[in-house]
A and B are shown apart, each in its own frame.
Chain A
Amino acid sequence: MGTYFHSVNLDEEKCRGCTNCIKRCPTEAIRVRKSKARIINERCIDCGECIRVCPYHAKKAISDPFDIVNTFKYKVVIPAPSLYGQFKAVYSRNHILTALKIIGFDEVYEVAKAAEIVSSATRKLMKKSDVKKPLISSACPAVVKLIQVRYPSLIENIVKLESPMEVAAKVAKMEIAESKNIAPEDIGVFFITPCAAKVTSVKARYENGSSFVDGVISIKDVYLKILSSLGKVRNIEDLEQAGFEGIRWANSGGESLALETEKFLAVDGIHNVITILEEVENDRLEDVEFIEALSCVGGCLGGPLTVENVYVAKTRLKKHLDAAKAKGSDVHEDEKEYSGDFALTGNVECKPVMKLDIDLAKAMKKLETLELINKELPGLDCGACGAPSCRALAEDIVRGNANETDCIFKLREKVRQLAVQMMELEAKMPPVLDKGIG
């Protein structure tokens, strides 16, 4: 597997080691060391919480620069539906899609269209009797990673279908190769992403083979380019393919509403997702057959690499939804056409990064020591040691990555003890100088 890639990274120069981020991280992946935040790579799920919370904007997501499109002869853009919420509602969807062509793409294929294909496949899956319910959507890669890391017993509940992005890339590449007679390797497919998690899901697919996406560009990075091109559009081309059901995926609840069932639960925001996954793990959810869990508050419209405020974006998306609704469509007519093609090929693996040792006996000893250390710590979870909680510090100590004196209270205790010892020593005179009354 080699080194573990994830998109969210630190800008060393901007980071002041303020510890604001360490407590917000849902997997306790951040530590502050030598006044700089460090991300424990294999724990990071790329949720982007730390990007949002950092007051110095020192957390960034690695994505591809726009220039990457020039490395391919035929350039195809696949915009996430959340892109539509970034611009003023006076610009129609076709207007935005045409602007994408102006900035340098030969063709556009909406991820929202692929979302409809995934919805269709999911509807079929729901009807099968041998699937583990509640099914949990695999659309948000941060949530999938969270499950792999923290809720491995729920892996079998994950919908084993490719994400709309991956489906869009695959379909676009195949269709264009055939209709335009272009060699697939000459076709570059570029995803416009609202988040870091999607970048990682392309760059590090591990067990699922390589991606059909050739580059991932953040909404932030192309925003100005698109904005200035919106004014340059002369002839608005008819490029829309998706109906409102596909576009609605940008909203929390959008994926669920396409499933023709009432028995769904839509949750957004990674900390809320955790609460719900706990409930599922405790077998506490009744009458829920499908769970749509999105890492970002408000769904992908609230993605960390978007530009517009999530609530403003929501209002704007509503206009696009209404327009698509007015146009009709969405009768699920191509239910058969796409069947079976988009199953995830590999397994979603359990990534037990919380494990203290591969050997159970050793892990038990470490855990026992961890508990003992934890008991001695003040329990204030102040974060001054650079760990998100006292228990996390205890864990770091057991793993050999920290010392007890990293705790300022422990350090003070030690200093006080030393001071007492020094006083005692100081009071002792060498016998030759001792003028004591004797």
Chain B
Amino acid sequence: MGLSNVLKLHFDIPANDFVSAGEASSSVKKTLSQLGIAPQVIKKSAIAMYEAEINAVIHANGGTADIEIDQDKVIIKIQDEGPGIPDLDLAMQEGFSTAPDTVRQMGFGAGMGLPNMKRYADELKINTEVGRGTTVIIRVNFA
């Protein structure tokens, strides 16, 4: 097998599992530190990915995470087949959340996930279709 110059990682994000939610982003964080990536870059990637991962858990019955790392960036793709986001501009607003009370009591659903992703990602792409699902693509540059 020839070693490529892109490192790929794959994770399944289980549905409604609040205890293990965040494991994929933790694992990516560990990977990035093993690569010697700068701490602040790791932090940006970890927060952005964590929020996307949590969204897949609480809003979309879980999904998958695919990570691609090359010499100068990490690309994080979180995909789900959940309900989709009807009004993305509205969802992007700080504090907007449709999370039910039960979820909120667990400390999730402050409506800051999407705004934080925007803040920490160098590029954020969201493809969403009601009834079909959502794909969030986060790019964080190493330099």
Contacts and interface: CB of A to CB of B under 8 A. Distances in A.
Contact of B9 (A354, A363, A371, A395): A371
Nearest to A366: B34
B116 interface: yes
Nearest to B27: A391
A361 interface: yes
Contact of B7 (A150, A357, A358, A368): A368
A280 to B, nearest CB: 10
A102 interface: no
Contacts of A224: none
A61 B47 CA distance: 38
Contacts of B22: 278, 282
Given A365-B3, A368-B7, A152 B26 contact: no
A355 B47 contact: no
A361 B71 contact: yes
Contacts of B42: 152-153
A355 B34 contact: yes
B39 A153 contact: yes
A104 B93 CA distance: 67
B35 A153 contact: no
Contact of A152 (B4, B39, B71): B39
Given A153-B42, A282-B47, A371-B9, A363 B34 contact: yes
- Interface magnitude class on chain B: 20 to 34
Interface in B1-20: 1, 3-5, 7, 9
Interface of A: 150, 152-153, 155, 278, 281-284, 286, 350, 352, 354-358, 360-361, 363-365, 367-372, 395
B36 A358 contact: yes
A364 B5 contact: yes
Contacts of B29: 281
B94 to A, nearest CB: 14
Interface string B47-67: 100100000000000000000
A352 B47 contact: no
B33 interface: yes
Q: Top 5 A-B pairs ranked by shortest CB distance?
A: A152-B39, A153-B43, A355-B36, A153-B39, A363-B35
B25 A282 contact: yes
B40 A153 contact: yes
B3 A367 contact: no
Contacts of B26: 278
A238 to B, nearest CB: 49
Instruction: Identify which of A363, A364, A369, A372 gathers the most chain B CB atoms within 10 Å of its CB.
Output: A364
Given A153-B40, A355-B34, 9 more contacts: A152-B39, A278-B26, A281-B29, A282-B22, A286-B110, A357-B36, A360-B36, A360-B71, A395-B34
Contacts of A152: 33, 39, 42
B36 to A, nearest CB: 4
A286 B3 CA distance: 43
Contact of B34 (A278, A282, A361, A367): A367
Contacts of A368: 3-4, 7
Contacts of A363: 34-36
Contacts of A364: 5, 7, 35, 69-71
Contacts of B36: 352, 355-358, 360, 363
B47 A356 contact: no
A356 B34 contact: yes
30 contacts: A153-B42, A281-B29, A281-B46, A282-B47, A282-B50, A284-B107, A286-B110, A350-B39, A352-B33, A352-B36, A354-B33, A355-B33, A355-B35, A355-B36, A356-B36, A357-B36, A358-B36, A361-B71, A363-B35, A363-B36, A364-B35, A364-B69, A364-B71, A365-B3, A367-B31, A367-B35, A368-B4, A371-B9, A372-B1, A395-B34
A284 B109 CA distance: 11
Contacts of A371: 9
Nearest to B4: A368
Nearest to A398: B34
A283 B35 contact: no
Contacts of A153: 39-40, 42-43
B132 interface: no
A370 B70 CA distance: 16
Contacts of A283: 47, 116
Contacts of B118: none
Instruction: Identify which of A286, A355, A357, A368 gathers the most chain B CB atoms within 10 Å of its CB.
Output: A368
Contacts of B50: 282
A309 B26 CA distance: 35
Contacts of B5: 361, 364
B30 interface: yes
A305 to B, nearest CB: 31
A416 to B, nearest CB: 24
Interface string B94-111: 000000000000010010
A282 B39 contact: no
